[in-house]
Structure 1
């Protein structure tokens, strides 16, 4: 992580807020890389439409934060509270959500390709039309999450709680991995759909 002057970062956040509020007429769009945000109070700062690559948000409280349409690839949200956070149309490829609390979060139309969501609480999360290519959901809690029109390919689901998973019949399911990366168990097409449907009906 880069060491950044905290005051300088606050000025950039204020400038981004101005940019959002004036629809780009004033201020400047936020674009930072490899910044550690863990010691910054982000309440009151909109983070939508920002470039925040390889940044650290671990253990923070980002509940109800608007991070829609932002580029967040390779950033880290381990043990982070992102309950009801808005990631609509965000680029979340390679993001680490391990142990994050993302109940009710909106991931609609987000790119979660190769994101790590192990042990993540995704209860009631909206994954509508999201890209789940090789996304790692091992041991995640996906109770009543909505995957309508989401795209599955190589999606890791070993140990995931899928009770009440919604939208399976509308999802684009090419393949899922019910094993591990080291010992994969790939299910394709109809077989994958049946496995997901059976899991969604199970009481865990």
Structure 2
């Protein structure tokens, strides 16, 4: 029985049979993962680059240091997952759920997070440079030292209730840190309402 089959059995029997998935430094790009559940798993430093994983359930999983570069993750569920040090560069993360997730030094450079659910997530030194965050929901999210240079923030929701500690509108090499209310004001000023975006388009 493969480890993926064992994980499926473990999920289906609520832990009575099979074994919880634990893999490290595995290249998964040549596998068909469509039939296997990947929630509640330990999947560290693994490669998912360029795969089609739309609506995949990764909830409550440890995914630290894995890579999802240019991966299709539209509607995927990362709720309560640890995606710290994960690389989502150029990934399609539209309408994905990252609620209550941990994103320490996570990279979303040029990723599309339109309509993403980021509610109550922890974003610490998360890299959103040139990311698209149209209509993303950051209600009760904790935002600290987050990189935002070039990010599209049109219609971002929940800013009033987010815990905004600091943002970096510069680069890692030449930071431009805004703290507290100054950071919140910058975010509000750069969050144009959706009707303006539609008018421009």
TM-score by length of 2: 0.95
Match of 2:98 in 1: 107
Q: Are residues 1:168 and 2:156 paired?
A: no
Residue of 121, 124, 144 corresponding to 2:112 = 121
Q: Which runs of 4+ in 1 moved over 2 A?
A: none
Matched, 1:186 2:172: no
Aligned to 1:35: 26
TM-score, normalising length: structure 1: 0.94
5+ residue gaps, structure 2 = none
SS where residue 200 of structure 1 aligns? coil
Equivalent runs, 1:34-183 vs 2, <5 Å: 34-183=25-174
Aligned to 1:198: 189
Q: Using the TM superposition, give the Cα deviation of residue 44 of structure 1 relative to its aligned residue in structure 2, in angstroms.
A: 1.2
Instruction: Report the alpha carbon displacement of residue 64 of structure 1 after superposing the two structures with TM.
Output: 0.5
Unaligned regions of 5+ residues in structure 1, if any?
A: 1-7
Measure, in 2, the Cα distance between the counterparts of 1:20 and 1:45: 10
